[in-house]
Amino acid sequence: MNIVEVHDLYKEYGKGETSVKAINHISFHVEKGEFLAIVGTSGSGKSTLLNLTGGLDRANGGKIIINGREITGMTGDALTVFRRENIGFIFQEFNLVTHLDVKKNILLPMKLAKKKFDKQFFQLITTSLGLEDKLDRYPSQLSGGQQQRVAIARALYSKPAIILADEPTGSVTLVQHYPKEIPVILFSLSILISLITDRHSVRFSSRVSVS
């Protein structure tokens, strides 16, 4: 089963002579359970592709189907709900809320979605990621690698159909321990799309596309 299908995707920034064709008619698919890394130089369009695939930005053309639902064409509200329930993001700059502690950061998206606290799953994730003794710390009290693990825990906690990670190589330690620290099978994650430039990470991918 394809968890992600992208057909003839096109994205242009600006208009006329100064416009930038960031995504120029790209098609690909990702099967359930697949780890995919998309590799390319700076400015080649990786973040744009991540934002479009995750429904954070709109394409100028083409079709995106996630978990059997076409997201291109969804209204803003429908897309927001779909995103919250199906897509986990790990951003390059982590996007943690500075005035919330680690526990509240991890729980925030599901709290906004009015989902019940799943204590057992929360403990499983935070222990697997070595965060169990950091739960009352604030992001500013954590190292970059620890902050990234919080962002990963937050993405995993919502049990998304896919996880999109933009250059998740900020912490070399984490990359080295990726397969162990993120128990993909344990959490039945469908895929991890890893949009990276660092070649060290590529070996964890089942399929690699070089732009």
Ligand X SMILES: Nc1ncnc2c1ncn2[C@@H]1O[C@H](COP(=O)(O)OP(=O)(O)O)[C@@H](O)[C@H]1O
Residue 146 within binding range of Mg ion, rule CB under 5 A:
no
Binding mask 29-48 for ligand X (x = CB under 6 A): -----------x-xxxxxxx
Pick 22 or 153: Cβ nearer ligand X: 22
CB of 92 to ligand X, least distance (A): 9
38 to 57: interface string for Mg ion, x by CB under 5 A? --------xx----------
57, 85, 176 from 8: Cα distances, Å: 16, 25, 34
Residue with tokens 């992001």: 139
DSSP annotation of 203 reads: G
Q: Nearest approach, Cβ of 166 to Mg ion (angstroms)?
A: 6
The dihedral built from the CA positions of residue 64, 20, 45 and 80, taken in this order, carries a sign that is negative
Two tokens, residue 198: 């660092």
- Does 13 bind ligand X (CB under 6 A)? Our answer is yes
C-alpha separations of 134 from 139, 171, 206, 208 in Å: 10, 17, 32, 35
Q: For residue 170, state whether it binds ligand X (rule: CB under 6 A).
A: no
